[in-house]
Structure 1
Amino acid sequence: MPDYTAQHKQRLSYMPWLFYRLKAKHLEWAAPWQAEIQQALQECETVSLGRQVFIAPGAHIFAEPGREVIIGDYSYVAADAVIHGPARIGERVSINHHVSIDGGGAGVRIGDDCRLAAYAHLYAFNHGLDPGRLIRKQPVSSRGIELGRDVWLGSHCGVTDGVIMGDGSIAGMNSVVTRNVEPMTIVAGNPARPIGRR
């Protein structure tokens, strides 16, 4: 007989927004399942989770002491996403599958209601470029990354260290955001440039 619950868990792991639409009969197994995942994570890592957060069992969250990860109410982290603190994630934030976030030393801050599409990546650190040293021996710097409220990163979008994206801004699919983005501005390309306004 097919294991519908196992398939349903896999579906939720890659499409977590469905968790918030579950009927009462499905929440009977889904709520304890989530509670177990989140308790185990919080026992091992320096993670703070708000109310009604969803963490896929295949998500990878690493938050050693001094590199805390905070996730606000009603936010979700899908399967195969990787988050390495320090990171502060607001409320109702969507972190879809295969998103990669590394807070470096200065951290990543993501405002409420942001949407990070699949394979988006934010790296809040950089290596030096001294030609007399191997890359692996270069000093690492970190200025941090900040996304305001209601920011949308398209699939495969990258955001580099030091970038601030203003409230309501959008970066298109496959863009590489290397400079600050004004509020309500749409950017695209590599490097990303303004192409419109909301």
Structure 2
Amino acid sequence: MDRAAADATGEPAVPVISLKDAPGERAAWDRHLGVVLAWSVAELLFVTNPWQISSRLRVRVLRAFGAEIGRGVVYRPRTRVRFPWKLRIGDNSWIGEGVWIHNQDRVEIGSDVVISQETFLTTGSHAHRRDMALITAPITIHDGVWVTSRCMVLGGTVIGRSSLVRPMSVVAGNVSSNTVVSGNPATPIGPRFVAGGD
């Protein structure tokens, strides 16, 4: 880290972390280079590819690389998965077009979950005050959750059963069951289901 005493104005200098010395991301791979490269090709051809229209084929390829995916999952095109061997999806869930699961740590998605278009799930961050080393934390999304379009779900998040995340929200931490959250940061705005309601 550059700790120069002062900048040109005489003000105390703000440190700069040397990125060439930052620890690499390979610590998160959990597989040999050959497997990671083979997955990169398979992802491009069969998962991200918008011309590949078969959800079943997409699911089969993800399973072949270690993803645990239940029955009846609908998995749309233009999606990305960083490491399928760190992904679990329960039965009858829907993964929308353009979803990016950047799972350097475990991502667990329950049954009957909807992850809508262009949502980004990321388990990684960096030690931004030290050396930019990779820091990861898992994401858990329980049964019945709906994460709507263009949301961001950060590492360490647990979203409780049958909750709903409104569009463009940024979720970090715990969301209680049956709760609607919205905003950046996402905060509770009420229950999803109410007794006697529709």
Give the TM-score normalised by structure 1: 0.65
Aligned residue for 1:83? 81
Aligned residue for 2:126? 127
**Pairing 1:105-144 to 2, within 5 Å after superposition:** 106-130=105-129, 133=131, 138-144=132-138
Counterpart among 48, 58, 83 of residue 63 in structure 2: 48
- Alpha-carbon distance in structure 2 between the residues aligned to 1:11 and 1:75: 19
CA RMSD of aligned residues (A): 2.3
Q: How many matched pairs?
A: 141
Give the Å deviation of 1:48.
2.4
- Alpha-carbon distance in structure 2 between the residues aligned to 1:76 and 1:83: 15
Counterpart among 144, 147, 150 of residue 141 in structure 2: 147
Aligned-partner SS, 1:97: coil
Aligned residue for 1:13? 53
Aligned residue for 2:97? 97
**Pairing 1:145-184 to 2, within 5 Å after superposition:** 145-184=139-178
Uncovered stretches (5+) of structure 1, i.e. residues with no partner:
1-9, 17-33, 42-46, 50-62
Aligned-partner SS, 2:53: helix
Contact 1:69 1:84 in 2 (8 A): no
Aligned-partner SS, 1:13: coil
Aligned-partner SS, 2:161: coil
Q: Percent sequence identity over matched residues?
A: 27
- Alpha-carbon distance in structure 1 between the residues aligned to 2:51 and 2:179: 33
For residues 120-170 of structure 1, the C-alpha deviation after alignment (integer angstroms, 9 at most, x for no partner) is 11011111111x64xxxx111112000000000010011000000000011
Give structure 1 regions of 4+ aligned residues with deviation exceeding 4 angstroms: none
- Alpha-carbon distance in structure 1 between the residues aligned to 2:113 and 2:183: 20
